[in-house]
Amino acid sequence: SSMPTDELRFRSQATWSPKAKWALSGNARYRDAENDELDWSQWERNTTGFGANLWYAASPEYQFTLGIDSQKQETDAVAIVPVMDG
């Protein structure tokens, strides 16, 4: 099954706003999941993500946001592809 039996998650976010017109935010995510109750193999998935956002208020009518997010995911599982010739 591709459903984890054990899972560890971590998520954090912080925002720094030294002035009323702009702010900088960052976030980090981590997930480690596995299923070791399978009869014939193990299933593991590790996910790591980072992000940053910049917010700027040029005026009460105009606000701008710039952001970037990155995610890396690795899955370790046995896959069997049936070959049919018929």
Query: How do residues 16-33 score in pLDDT, each as one tens digit?
Result: 999 999 999 999 999 999
Query: Could you report the per-residue pLDDT of 56-82, keeping only the tens digit for each?
Result: 999 999 999 999 999 999 988 777 677
Residue 82: both structure tokens together: 């049936």
Answer for the pair 71, 48: CB distance below 8 angstroms, yes or no: yes
Answer for the pair 57, 69: CB distance below 8 angstroms, yes or no: no
According to the model, what pLDDT value does residue 61 have?
94
Residues 6+ away with beta carbon under 8 Å from 33: 4, 6, 7, 8, 44, 45, 46
Q: Would the pLDDT of 1 be above 70?
A: no
Answer for the pair 66, 47: CB distance below 8 angstroms, yes or no: no
Evaluate if pTM is beyond 0.75.
no
**Across the chain, which distance is largest between two alpha carbons, in Å?**
70
